[in-house]
Structure 1
């Protein structure tokens, strides 16, 4: 996958640099980075330690054990300094020291972090070393690192890198046996999480993958959404209640209040926490002047996999226990899947327009893109350049065909939003009516995009 190749190239470049360095590697999504690390560490001299949730005394004992096992060293003092002074590469090659799950080290364990600084500064180990501090918890991306790591270690971090999700285009390339429709549906379920894409087998149908990976107790993604929420956030019952309300269409603070019964101040705090972990987002309507007609204070679940789970599975877990995964899919997922996939299709179309923009194939160079959410309707995509010229788009996933009426509704919403476009793009996963095709042929400002050409 291209994003992972880019990440590996980055780490390889740092590895080949002369001197010692510390890299803080964090995940930008809910995922596991184990396979990525193994690929990078292949054929390199490595000392690997996975931190555990433990007291400083036990953490030290666990590290000492790994030094003894991996480096065949006998330790005589209870100190982190001695641990890192005894690691060895065995030759003149650079040693990669991996401190995995570094977020499990408590703030009060300053000796651990001070020892890493000494290691980088060649005060403990004379040979060349690359120190990879890997934070696999979403919380690490949003903590005050200076408070957590201390001033000295923060100043000693040479590089920071987040492992990003892959794009839809990369997902299509990875699932080479899938049609574009199957790929869009897959993206709508698992998003661009590389490790989820890795286990999604395109030799199985979309339904078969959902059944075997998500609905089956032996599946790799069974209960994955709830595991993330319970491992990252306290009071999962509150977060579950709020996320379920959002998944069932409650998108404003007052709607969530009425659905959950929690106070508005309490909900605001929990929404803020969920947003900090990239689980939800506040949707800001594209501001082009039609603010009076725009909806305000809209929230939505940002993470595709968590959204899918709370939309289709969370409230039906009892049925999943009594049914086969195939029966559950047919009963609870299939009937609402087409409507649900609209949001994923909009994201795919957004990426398509961004790619055209990058290639210089739009009538103007977009510097900002978003969605206009109106009180009477929505413009799925709005793009603006630096001199406030616009393109806009609507995206149809489930309607039989986009019609002239749909185009006229778009124009009505654009007028309410006070957006005058140079070109409008009409994306459809199905088709277009003959009347709309004729209109587009006569008007160059109307561009029809069939999903099969994406």
Structure 2
């Protein structure tokens, strides 16, 4: 188990709760994050019952469930449940009233509820006050990867609303944790790998059989042999991620939206233009992709009514930016090297460049100290700053807001991120100009000395380093500092 201490401690606390009543917990998260591994380990450690549902009819699911429950109870004959009401009654009887708690896990719960919509209501009744005198201390955990379904399970007027005492989301590993998981010490190599596969644990184990790039020179060959290779599971993973989501029916449209964003179209209008559709036609598709965790909608830091859409999973960006346009060639074995060699510019501009910007925002949110940001950070984002005199707008990769002594929001820092550029005095002048534009703008309060953050994956000029040594308001953040500094 790698860096799941918090999740494990919450599961153990839930499983060992000594109360006599039955309790409910919900565990969710994107696929391949290790949810099943955690819950299976919990059942093994506590002697609990684990049932992994599959895509099946109600009758078949009941048959599978009855056989699994009988094995757990060491019954010689499987249960023959006619409907889920009987199955839930038997399930809640695995813990005797007054006896020790028993962990029960229903993994891939959305598969069961899709063919048996009454199941949440049956569980609600089994967990309700009227049943407490008859039910023992069952510790029931429902798990699923369909984020929209799992999010709605406890929301609004849903039957299980207010019943759960645990609501745990198993996240993907961030860029620092991913480097540790892969065992990569070179920060540039770690970020390159992260820009392709993100922090999904399964991608670093089962999907590549532990194959990590040996060094920077091996990165390209590693991509070719593991991601651009039609004989490896990562080759079709991006397609399967969409196919596995039950709410995504018009997959051509959703692939088109993801492709538009991966190509650099981050506004609704830009996405619509890329697809040749009206902006109003994309509302539902964008909402569904956001609900399923495929994309993120980030409000503009300076215009709350504007938003930028970004692909949440790096492998989706890599697929739609680099693989999908070359799919006919890639499906033919042996063409991965040629595709990779002619896609260098695309990889730098559409994949690793935007990913580097996102990593810089993540660093500012979770790792940068108050002395770096100029105070305690509140919200963090990116945005566009209008320049009326030049009749243009300046894109800002990072904006950090905090609170002043009167509790008012103030701008603590602004930053620019360049993956492949050595940053110099010209980059700092641009930030100084944007800072002056913001200072003159109504509705934006600046800290006394806003920090100017320069992020670079290629380094800094001696002139810029000398300026930063003299002025603490100028902060230089290279790859070493991203991965090990504050």
TM range (shorter): 0.7 to 0.9
Pick from 51, 65, 78 the counterpart of residue 82 of structure 2. 78
Q: Give the Cα–Cα distance (whole angstroms) in 1 for the partners of residues 45 and 221 of structure 2.
A: 37
Q: Give the Cα–Cα distance (whole angstroms) in 1 for the partners of residues 141 and 356 of structure 2.
A: 37
Residue 78 of structure 1: how far off its partner (Å): 2.6
Structure with bigger RCO (C-alpha 8 Å, 6+ apart)? 1
Structure 2 CA distance for partners of 1:355 and 1:266, relative to 1, 3 Å: closer
Structure 2 CA distance for partners of 1:188 and 1:452, relative to 1, 3 Å: same
Secondary structure of 1:341's counterpart equals helix
CA-based RMSD of the aligned residues comes to: 3.2
Q: Does 1:18 align with 2:25?
A: no
Instruction: State the match for 1:413 in structure 2.
Output: 434
Pick from 230, 241, 244 the counterpart of residue 256 of structure 2. 241
Q: Residues 420 and 458 of structure 2 are in contact (CA less than 8 Å); yes or no, is this contact kept in structure 1?
A: yes
Q: Give the Cα–Cα distance (whole angstroms) in 1 for the partners of residues 480 and 16 of structure 2.
A: 43
Write the deviation string for residues 163-217 of structure 1: whole angstroms up to 9, x where unpaired: 1122222112222234101111122122222333445646434334433432223
Q: Give the Cα–Cα distance (whole angstroms) in 2 for the partners of residues 312 and 191 of structure 1.
A: 16
Instruction: State the match for 2:346 in structure 1.
Output: 336
Structure 2 CA distance for partners of 1:29 and 1:360, relative to 1, 3 Å: farther
Number of residue pairs matched?
446
Write the deviation string for residues 308-341 of structure 1: whole angstroms up to 9, x where unpaired: 1101111211110225264145334434333331
Q: Residues 380 and 400 of structure 2 are in contact (CA less than 8 Å); yes or no, is this contact kept in structure 1?
A: yes
Structure 2 CA distance for partners of 1:247 and 1:416, relative to 1, 3 Å: same
Instruction: State the match for 2:51 in structure 1.
Output: 49
Instruction: State the match for 1:384 in structure 2.
Output: 401
Write the deviation string for residues 25-49 of structure 1: whole angstroms up to 9, x where unpaired: 1115675633233333333313222
Q: Does 1:164 align with 2:171?
A: yes
Secondary structure of 2:375's counterpart equals coil
Q: Residues 153 and 161 of structure 2 are in contact (CA less than 8 Å); yes or no, is this contact kept in structure 1?
A: no
Instruction: State the match for 1:6 in structure 2.
Output: 6
Q: Give the Cα–Cα distance (whole angstroms) in 2 for the partners of residues 435 and 69 of structure 1.
A: 71
Secondary structure of 2:233's counterpart equals coil
Q: Residues 18 and 101 of structure 2 are in contact (CA less than 8 Å); yes or no, is this contact kept in structure 1?
A: no
Secondary structure of 1:155's counterpart equals coil
Q: Give the Cα–Cα distance (whole angstroms) in 1 for the partners of residues 137 and 380 of structure 2.
A: 45
Instruction: State the match for 2:365 in structure 1.
Output: 354
Q: Residues 32 and 202 of structure 2 are in contact (CA less than 8 Å); yes or no, is this contact kept in structure 1?
A: no
Gaps in structure 2 of 5+ consecutive residues: 386-391, 405-409
Write the deviation string for residues 135-189 of structure 1: whole angstroms up to 9, x where unpaired: 1212224436467852xx3332222111112222211222223410111112212
Structure 2 CA distance for partners of 1:117 and 1:248, relative to 1, 3 Å: closer
Q: Give the Cα–Cα distance (whole angstroms) in 2 for the partners of residues 251 and 154 of structure 1.
A: 35
Q: TM-score, normalised by structure 2?
A: 0.81
Secondary structure of 2:476's counterpart equals strand
Superposed, which structure 2 residues align to 1:279-294 within 5 Å? Answer: 279-287=294-302
Write the deviation string for residues 272-305 of structure 1: whole angstroms up to 9, x where unpaired: 2222222223342212xxx6xx994543323222
Q: Residues 88 and 122 of structure 2 are in contact (CA less than 8 Å); yes or no, is this contact kept in structure 1?
A: yes
Residue 245 of structure 1: how far off its partner (Å): 2.4
Q: Does 1:133 align with 2:142?
A: yes
Pick from 212, 233, 236 the counterpart of residue 223 of structure 1. 236
Superposed, which structure 2 residues align to 1:257-268 within 5 Å? Answer: 257-268=272-283
Instruction: State the match for 1:211 in structure 2.
Output: 224
Q: Give the Cα–Cα distance (whole angstroms) in 2 for the partners of residues 124 and 49 of structure 1.
A: 25
Pick from 450, 454, 473 the counterpart of residue 422 of structure 1. 450
Instruction: State the match for 1:435 in structure 2.
Output: 463
Residue 349 of structure 1: how far off its partner (Å): 2.2
Pick from 367, 383, 393 the counterpart of residue 415 of structure 2. 393
Superposed, which structure 2 residues align to 1:108-119 within 5 Å? Answer: 109=116, 112-117=119-124
Q: Residues 28 and 150 of structure 2 are in contact (CA less than 8 Å); yes or no, is this contact kept in structure 1?
A: yes
Write the deviation string for residues 62-101 of structure 1: whole angstroms up to 9, x where unpaired: 32232234434344663445435556589x6532211111
Residue 23 of structure 1: how far off its partner (Å): 0.6
Q: Give the Cα–Cα distance (whole angstroms) in 2 for the partners of residues 162 and 256 of structure 1.
A: 30
Q: Does 1:188 align with 2:195?
A: yes
Q: Does 1:327 align with 2:337?
A: yes
Q: TM-score, normalised by structure 1?
A: 0.86
Instruction: State the match for 1:403 in structure 2.
Output: 424
Q: Residues 175 and 202 of structure 1 are in contact (CA less than 8 Å); yes or no, is this contact kept in structure 2?
A: no
Structure 2 CA distance for partners of 1:117 and 1:41, relative to 1, 3 Å: same
